[in-house]
A = this chain, B = another copy of it.
């Protein structure tokens, strides 16, 4: 492992220890629920972006920023699962499934609080401002998704704006925070844009995977978006190509897993998944090109690998 890899592993280890401590120290009930969410894991992609966007280690504030973005991410997942009545996340039972609505709402609230408490300890007004802006964006994105549920009128532009709010905003904040606490605040804007494009690609590919499946890979039933009324780009584009999909009444005609699976097949048959995937890969490529202009040396290579990792979700 090279020096950069060892550094990243070390920082991720510190973040993991801190995350465990944060969720364990707020009462037994909440510890049970929050620890389950924490250990369900995920890739820690957002802390990784924080650390890779930092030029130097900057000690505790940098780790705090990584922990804060992951806690905020976990908080939104827990609340989303309540709203979706989701029983599985990453192939494991959700807090909603094991503890019910109230426990999951309280767990999410706790995680929100801890995210801001972690970052506030750094005493950075711009840092807290960025996390707060991301948190607002996540809430607005969630609201937009619910407002557009089952709607036949969602445009590609509106869909992309929603992706920016509900996913890319936190990738943006993670990269900005890394620049700020890693000794290069002047790079916060361009690194934030890199994060935003990676985040858009991430969401686009996530929405492709929901249609393509299989369940063993995604940890959730195929067509879950269709079942909860979330209108994504594959469906929006497929409706323009296939008149039967165009006239489909989502709420009335896609009520079962079998029916959702059949609609997924029909979306696949239109060929739009390749189109959406190409759009995602364009964002990844664009992000890498912008990155190359920043003169980051070894970090450019690491951040490019993260970008490629996002692209590989589909491969």
Contacts and interface: CB of A to CB of B under 8 A. Distances in A.
Interface of A: 26-27, 29-30, 75-76, 79, 82-83, 100-103, 105-110, 112-114, 116-117, 119-121, 123, 125, 128-129, 131-132, 135-136, 138-140, 142-147
Contact of A101 (B83, B109, B138): B83
A129 B132 CA distance: 17
A125 B174 CA distance: 22
Contacts of A114: 132, 136
A79, A106, A132, A140 — most chain B CB neighbours (10 Å): A106
A29 B105 contact: no
A102 B76 CA distance: 12
A132 B109 contact: no
A139 B30 contact: yes
Contacts of A132: 113-114, 116-117, 120
Contacts of A142: 102, 105-106, 109
Contacts of A140: 26-27, 29-30, 106, 110
| Top 3 closest pairs, chain A to chain B, by CB | A116-B116, A102-B146, A117-B132
A24 B27 CA distance: 35
A136 B116 CA distance: 12
A113 B71 CA distance: 12
23 contacts: A26-B136, A26-B139, A27-B143, A29-B147, A75-B109, A82-B105, A83-B101, A100-B146, A102-B145, A103-B146, A106-B143, A108-B109, A109-B112, A110-B136, A112-B112, A112-B113, A113-B116, A113-B136, A116-B116, A116-B120, A117-B129, A117-B135, A120-B125
Contacts of A144: 29
A102, A138, A140, A147 — most chain B CB neighbours (10 Å): A102
A144 to B, nearest CB: 7
B83 A110 contact: no
Given A30-B143, A123-B123, A105 B106 contact: no
A57 to B, nearest CB: 21
Contacts of A139: 26, 30, 106-107, 109-110, 113
Nearest to A119: B120
A117 B138 CA distance: 15
